[in-house]
Amino acid sequence: MAFEYIKALHIIFIVTWFAGLFYIVRLFIYQAEAWEKPEEERKILVPQLNLMANRLWYIITWPSAILTLVFGFWVLYYRWGYMQLGFMHAKLAFVFLLYLYHFYCQKIYRDLQNGPSKWSSTKLRIWNEVSTVLLFAIVFLIVLKSLISVVWGIVGLLTLSVLMMIGIKYYKKVREKNQN
């Protein structure tokens, strides 16, 4: 019975962590665009967006990432036999990549809190999709529990990534056209 509670808490913190990751990069986009606004708008937008990013990052996203890890290890303790299966190694590799993504978001966060970033809003939109691709990979691996599915999953992820890139480029063109 305890295992089900631990697994439920792990899933809840995964959801809140991803919510934080999805929204923090959206805030990064708004912060990058705020630096391009006229001075009067920028004086209002930048402090507000910095405050929002700070609260999201340190009150929701970081605690959720830590608690996901804690409960994840706890779940793994109960299911240690999974460590002998290839799908779990692949899943943990994607989780490792997700934590690297999180740490790089920390760098972007710090850069944007200190002033304009070298990241354009377009690059940040692309960066925002990395967490989506990792989410797909992790969920499919843990649900299907199959390395054969990994091959098809990688093909699917590459296809999804290409479609997202096309969508981002299309959105940029539509947005630029509407601004003119």
pLDDT 10s digits, 17-54: 999 999 999 999 999 999 999 999 999 999 999 999 99
Q: Would you say residue 77 has pLDDT above 80?
A: yes
Q: Is 145 annotated as a binding-site member?
A: no
169 is in an annotated binding site: no
Q: What is the pLDDT of residue 25?
A: 97
Q: Is a pLDDT exceeding 80 seen at residue 148?
A: no
Q: Which residues contact 174 (CB under 8 A, 6 or more apart)?
A: none
What pLDDT does residue 146 have?
74
State the pLDDT confidence band at 83, using cuts at 50, 70 and 90: confident
Beta strands in the chain (DSSP E): none
- CB atoms near residue 165 (< 10 Å): 13
pLDDT at 106 over 90: yes
pLDDT at 141: 85
Residue 150 confidence class, pLDDT cut points 50, 70, 90:
low
Q: What is the mean pLDDT of the chain?
A: 90
pLDDT at 98 over 90: yes
The arithmetic mean of pLDDT across residues 75-102, rounded, is: 89
